[in-house]
A and B are shown apart, each in its own frame.
Chain A
């Protein structure tokens, strides 16, 4: 029982990271129906940027108090900003021209961008995993035999916080409304005077920034990073977005946490679980797409209308 609870905590932490990445997938897919293959790599870039900044300002050991707070804010904001800009650049350079192309084209392009990013990161920090400075104090709250670490709390808090902020943004701001309109019907939105290019760019900006945040908390939680992280994490986060209902922000969050839980439980309870957890998650993807493609929170389309 304790083991189960512990795995639930682990799963939620894992899930929080997936949720943040999934938000980016779901937003981009909702607005231009593109699976942004490179999104997982932007997430890894977030960790890389975080690492670079931390080393740049000379962080080596544990920090406390206001220094800790200051460093966190600095790194998170910088990472989100840099990743956001990266996302906007990718959209502008690689995807924009293909907005009206047959759907195969932007998907193939996205794969190309993903490869480029991965290679760049490999050249930047090498082919092996790299550690990040352990600056985040990690006391644990002990509830019997179950430990809730501060890092877990950080991940989950950041994930939920970001989602709430995003929801508020989409529903209460003019740009948010523009995004929703563009997602519904691009031509009509344009006729209403909405600048499609800007709207889409902002979508990428926010989505990629969230991936940057995910990269940051991931760096703290795992303590290491690797140029190839994004591939697997990206696929799982995409699964999460689909599971929750593609295009649905709350769905991405729900899906993210669910996938995290599924992975944690599979790892624990299937013999040699760690090896099979990937297979389990991908099987979830296949099952959802075949049997309920609209996901958990998406509208179930009973028939083609």
Chain B
């Protein structure tokens, strides 16, 4: 009862925030944080639900953004409306999710991670290189402005804020539906024991590809909104550190747990865009020549290491993940069940 009231109150606050706080910078921050929440929810499907460690997730963010930039701007004089692009970018990203996920299907967890990392490098590098279409390092700007029933969005962050909130709400609904479904159980089964999962009748190929596609689709959508708001896309927005940032959000918040992921995402966005710059301003105002934003990556690194060492299940864990990590640390043979009795260890040879 109390929990329901709390959620309703929070929901109400979220809905009316821009009306209460007219500081555009604040709304802009929340919108960006929202985009990253959407990214985190998407990655949560791939990593948290299906257990596929994707280190190149920023690639789909890039694909979503560039799709908008290429199909809704002066670049090729194509002007697909923003609302259509939301779905189109999402669909394009989903297709790439399948394409880039396909080669990884038979790979073990760590190899899968490295291959996805490779793709995460290849995609922005390709956007950078195909400069006759993408303007290379300069990126594409002057993108079409979205409008709602004839009213252009303008320079305020507020309309984008509401779009993101709506998308997040939809994402939460879809993700939690997936968790409690045949597909959700199939993902969990694959994560636990792929061989046994197959014996349940799970087609591991299509099931994993579904995870990649769905995860990518959230990312594509986020990319589309982000590009529209920023009015600029360039390759350096989608480097490895973005993929790691989103992963850190999951690690911090709690992989597999939707609420955890949202909380983790918000905390990191807050630290990144608020805490670090504000602390720097504060420090400099008292004469200390410190720029805390330079310590950003060290901070992510420490969060990742500390979380894995001391609370791998995250701040708000899914009950299951918590049990998994605790048990695995106690019983080495459970963890190595991943390595089927049918595989050989590489060993060390010369």
A102-B324, A289-B115, A304-B340 known; A249-B350 Cβ under 8 A: yes
Q: Which of A275-305 contact B (CB under 8 A)?
A: 275-276, 278-279, 282-283, 285-286, 289-290, 293-294, 298-299, 301, 304-305
Cross-chain contact B348 with A30 (CB below 8 angstroms): yes
Q: Which of A102, A107, A249 contacts B113 (CB 8 A)?
A: A107
A107-B53, A286-B118, A289-B111 known; A98-B348 Cβ under 8 A: no
The answer to whether B349 has its CB under 8 Å from any CB of chain A is: yes
The answer to whether B251 has its CB under 8 Å from any CB of chain A is: yes
Q: Which residues of B contact A104 (CB under 8 A)?
A: 51, 53, 109
Cross-chain contact B324 with A119 (CB below 8 angstroms): no
Q: Which residues of A contact B270 (CB under 8 A)?
A: none
The answer to whether B21 has its CB under 8 Å from any CB of chain A is: no
Q: How distant is the Cα of A22 from the Cα of B191 in the complex, in angstroms?
A: 30
Q: Which of A35, A109, A116, A276 contacts B308 (CB 8 A)?
A: A109
Q: Which of B125, B345, B349 contacts A33 (CB 8 A)?
A: B345
Cross-chain contact A105 with B129 (CB below 8 angstroms): no
Cross-chain contact A279 with B305 (CB below 8 angstroms): no
Q: Which residues of B contact A238 (CB under 8 A)?
A: 114
Q: Fill in one digit per residue for A24-38: 1 if any B CB lies within 8 Å of its CB, else 0.
A: 000101110111000
Q: How distant is the Cα of A97 from the Cα of B332 in the complex, in angstroms?
A: 12
Shortest CB distance B234–A (Å): 15
Cross-chain contact B114 with A285 (CB below 8 angstroms): yes
The answer to whether B301 has its CB under 8 Å from any CB of chain A is: yes
Shortest CB distance A256–B (Å): 15
The answer to whether B154 has its CB under 8 Å from any CB of chain A is: no
Q: Which of A103, A185, A286 contacts B103 (CB 8 A)?
A: A286
The secondary structure that dominates the B interface is helix
The answer to whether A167 has its CB under 8 Å from any CB of chain B is: yes
Q: Which residues of A contact B304 (CB under 8 A)?
A: 108-109, 111-112, 115
Q: Fill in one digit per residue for B201-245: 1 if any A CB lies within 8 Å of its CB, else 0.
A: 000000000000000000000000000000000000000110010
Shortest CB distance A164–B (Å): 10
Q: How distant is the Cα of A286 from the Cα of B348 in the complex, in angstroms?
A: 23
A102-B335, A108-B304, A293-B107 known; A278-B346 Cβ under 8 A: no
Q: Which of A98, A122, A183 contacts B346 (CB 8 A)?
A: A183
The answer to whether B297 has its CB under 8 Å from any CB of chain A is: yes
The answer to whether A170 has its CB under 8 Å from any CB of chain B is: yes
Q: Which of B318-350 contact A (CB under 8 A)?
A: 324-325, 328-329, 331-332, 335, 338, 340, 342-350
Cross-chain contact B240 with A30 (CB below 8 angstroms): no
The answer to whether A184 has its CB under 8 Å from any CB of chain B is: yes
Q: Which residues of B contact A278 (CB under 8 A)?
A: 121-122, 125
A109-B304, A286-B115 known; A183-B328 Cβ under 8 A: no
Cross-chain contact A247 with B111 (CB below 8 angstroms): no
A170-B348, A286-B115 known; A103-B109 Cβ under 8 A: yes
Q: Which residues of A contact B335 (CB under 8 A)?
A: 100-103
Q: How distant is the Cα of A30 from the Cα of B335 in the complex, in angstroms?
A: 18
Shortest CB distance B311–A (Å): 11
Q: How distant is the Cα of A35 from the Cα of B107 in the complex, in angstroms?
A: 14
Q: Which residues of B contact A100 (CB under 8 A)?
A: 328-329, 331-332, 335
Q: Which residues of B contact A246 (CB under 8 A)?
A: 346
The answer to whether B193 has its CB under 8 Å from any CB of chain A is: no
Shortest CB distance A258–B (Å): 17
Q: Which of B107, B126, B305 contacts A112 (CB 8 A)?
A: B305
Q: Which residues of A contact B312 (CB under 8 A)?
A: 101, 105
Residue of A nearest to B337 (CB): A102
Count contacts on A: residues with CB < 8 A to the other chain.
Answer: 70
A29-B346, A98-B308, A304-B343 known; A112-B300 Cβ under 8 A: yes
Q: Which of A152-193 contact B (CB under 8 A)?
A: 166-167, 170-171, 179-180, 183-185
Residue of A nearest to B291 (CB): A123
Q: Which of B116-141 contact A (CB under 8 A)?
A: 117-119, 121-122, 125-126, 128-129
A30-B348, A170-B348, A248-B350 known; A101-B328 Cβ under 8 A: yes
Q: Fill in one digit per residue for A87-124: 1 if any B CB lies within 8 Å of its CB, else 0.
A: 00000001001111111111111011111111110110
Q: Which residues of B contact A35 (CB under 8 A)?
A: 110, 113-114
Cross-chain contact B126 with A279 (CB below 8 angstroms): yes
Q: Which residues of B contact A19 (CB under 8 A)?
A: none
Cross-chain contact A116 with B309 (CB below 8 angstroms): no
The answer to whether A221 has its CB under 8 Å from any CB of chain B is: no
Q: How distant is the Cα of A286 from the Cα of B332 in the complex, in angstroms?
A: 30
Q: Which residues of B contact A211 (CB under 8 A)?
A: none
Shortest CB distance B52–A (Å): 10
Q: Which residues of A contact B182 (CB under 8 A)?
A: none
Which A-B residue pairs are the 5 nearest by beta carbons?
A: A112-B304, A247-B346, A115-B301, A304-B342, A30-B348
Interface residues of B (CB under 8 A from A): 51, 53, 55, 103, 106-111, 113-115, 117-119, 121-122, 125-126, 128-129, 240-241, 244, 247, 251, 294-298, 300-305, 308-309, 312, 324-325, 328-329, 331-332, 335, 338, 340, 342-350
